Amino acid sequence: MENTIAVLFDMDGVICHTNPYHSQAFRQFFSKRDLSPTDEEFAQHMFGKSNSYILSHFLQREVVGEEFKQLEDEKESLFRTIYEPYIEPIGGLLEFVSELKAHGVKTGVATSAPYANLELIIDKLALREKMESILASENVSKHKPDPEVYLTSAANLGVAPEQCVVFEDSYSGVSAAINAGMKVVGVLTSHRREELPPCDLYIENYKDLSFEKVRGLF
């Protein structure tokens, strides 16, 4: 089916507005180490960045191997504890996904977050059974802006990259989608449109979005 389209969602800032809670988790994590990054530093060096980049940047040294695993686990379990009571989707998301499924659209999640975070969120929102491909940081060797997670998602769904639309909110994520040769919708939860590479469409939330609008991108 040449006219099949597939829709891929990043998670943080795209399915849920998690960034404020990641900030809280990182603040707690860093304050234990007598560090207090500013909001500006967080905006520049946290949103959409991998944990290895964030930890190395703020601790001002390379964090790798077993130490990286331990520090990442500490920070992410802090995040899950803080965020668990507040999990809710970005406005209109669940209705939009249901409409896509009603039109036979294949869907997937492709996040740089660890699998435990992904599991917490998609199970709470009952999205697992609506996604034919689910990829987290453990499933790839190269992180966004590398296109690996999106190219693997397309392969999982049995579609070509040019049949895919990606929903992303970060510079590295939008770049990964473009590098994969996919259409991209910029979700303006963490950045203004001028802070992202050029997208095919921009949205604040999913309330005015429809299957027809997505199909119209092709």
Query: Hunting for tokens 């199970």 — which residue is that?
Result: 123
Set 10, 34, 73, 169: catalytic member: 10
Residue 115: band (very low, low, confident or very high) from pLDDT cuts 50, 70, 90? very high
Q: Is the peptide bond before 197 cis (omega within 30 degrees of 0)?
A: no
Same domain for 196 and 120 = yes
Residue of 12, 73, 169, 200 with catalytic role = 12
pLDDT digits (tens, 9 = 90+) for 42-75: 888 887 788 889 999 999 999 999 999 999 999 9
Q: What is the pLDDT of residues 2-18, one digit of tens each?
A: 468 999 999 999 999 99
Q: What is the pLDDT of residue 43?
A: 83
- The tokens for 45 are 């060096």
Tokens of 194: 């001028």
CB 147 within 8 A of CB 96: no
Output the pLDDT for position 214.
Answer: 96
Q: Which helix (H) or strand (E) holds 181?
A: none
CA 122 – CA 124 distance, rounded (Å): 6
Same domain? 64 vs 171: no
Q: Is 12 a catalytic residue?
A: yes
Q: Which of 85, 120, 135 is the last residue of a domain?
A: 85
| 144 and 44 housed in the same domain | no
Between CA 177 and CA 58 the distance in angstroms is: 27
The answer to whether position 1 is within a domain reads no
Cα 68 to the chain's mean position, in Å? 21
Residues 31 and 50 in one domain: yes
The pLDDT confidence band at residue 143, using thresholds 50, 70 and 90, is confident
10 is catalytic: yes
CATH number, domain containing residue 71: 1.10.150.240
Which residues lie below 8 Å from residue 48, measured CB to CB, with a gap of 6+? 13, 144, 169, 170, 171, 172, 173, 190
Same-domain check for residues 48 and 127: no
pTM of the model: 0.92
Contact predicate 32/131, CB 8 Å: no
Mean pLDDT of the chain: 95
